[in-house]
Amino acid sequence: MRERNRIHSLSFRVRATCLGLLLAPGLVFCQPAHSQGVSPALDLDRSGEIDSNDVFLFASIWLEMYDIGARNFNIEDFFPMAGGNTWHYTAGIGEPTDENFAFVIEQQFEPLPSGFEAFRIRNDYDAGRGDRQGVTDLWRYDDSGNLFYEGFLSDVTLTLGLGIEVPPQVVYFSDPLPFGIRDQEVGQILQGTATSTIEVNVNDQPMELVFEATGELQATGFLQTFATDLGEFTDVLRVRFNVTIGLTMGDEVFEFDFFNNTVFFKEGIGPIAIDLSPDVNNNGALTIDMGTIFVDGSPVEITAQ
């Protein structure tokens, strides 16, 4: 019988390799101390002071207060895919800038083993280094307008910890993870399991590692207004997701849970914020501060609307 080791925290690189998944730029768990005189009930990001990020987190935690209501939507309207589309995110004024980064859709497509082609979304960090620098995620819309996460490719060596390194390679999932569908209902839960075999070096010894990701995604409502570093957006779609990563090495299975993370989408623009605060990490909430969307082949600067 294989031993199952359930792990609830790990280094940045585990998340980096185990999914662009899903729009998460990389996390680490920590427990910052509260500075004297600041109420823990108000200092939601545990930075030691009451700041603009706490306002963001408050809205994220109590989002039901701002819901417009339930209605059906098409994910393709909220996550436009076109070569050159760019979304840049920042942790905000006064926050660490190490994780400020951009999603960039490349002009070329990635051929998949299934015969289809996937969009390539590259992760670009401002500092030229980051937890997912060198990693490109593979996304595909099918003919019905359903969106799937198909895998990733890396041109750098990724370090997972536990003595594991992942050399540069392309990882295709045997079954992609669903990320949205056409005529999707608010509250509807999408589930899927993706599997693949990854080449790794364990303590400098090459071997194969079996990778399995189980995802659960739910669009939970629309927000009347949502503030970002770029400005205030209206009628914003909120999507929450949970992911469990399973790594099998020989007779051992290691599992990693990443729960209650949230992405916010604006119709016609794409993801405008990524809230990873439920994991109490030092990334906090990242919001869009600039970007470009290509419409009919022409670039359009993203503005708050």
171 pLDDT more than 70: yes
88-92, 172-176, 232-236, 282-286: lowest mean pLDDT where? 282-286
237 in Cβ contact with 264 (< 8 Å): yes
User: CA-based diameter of the chain, in Å?
Assistant: 60
What is the pLDDT of the chain when averaged over all its residues? Answer: 79
138 Cβ neighbours under 8 A, 6+ residues apart: 110, 112, 118, 119, 120, 121, 149, 150, 151, 152, 153, 172
90 in Cβ contact with 274 (< 8 Å): no
67-76, 164-173, 190-199: lowest mean pLDDT where? 67-76
With bands split at pLDDT 50, 70 and 90, how would you rate the model's confidence at 235? Answer: very high
282 pLDDT more than 60: no
193 in Cβ contact with 171 (< 8 Å): no
Look up the pTM and report it: 0.77
Confidence at residue 156, expressed as pLDDT on a 0 to 100 scale: 86
Confidence at residue 276, expressed as pLDDT on a 0 to 100 scale: 62
272 in Cβ contact with 237 (< 8 Å): no
With bands split at pLDDT 50, 70 and 90, how would you rate the model's confidence at 247? Answer: confident
Q: Among all chains, which residue has been given the structure tokens 């760019």? A: 86
d(CA 80, CA 140): 11
With bands split at pLDDT 50, 70 and 90, how would you rate the model's confidence at 91? Answer: confident
d(CA 263, CA 248): 29
**Tokens (6 digits) for 239:** 């999507």
d(CA 305, CA 303): 6
With bands split at pLDDT 50, 70 and 90, how would you rate the model's confidence at 46? Answer: low
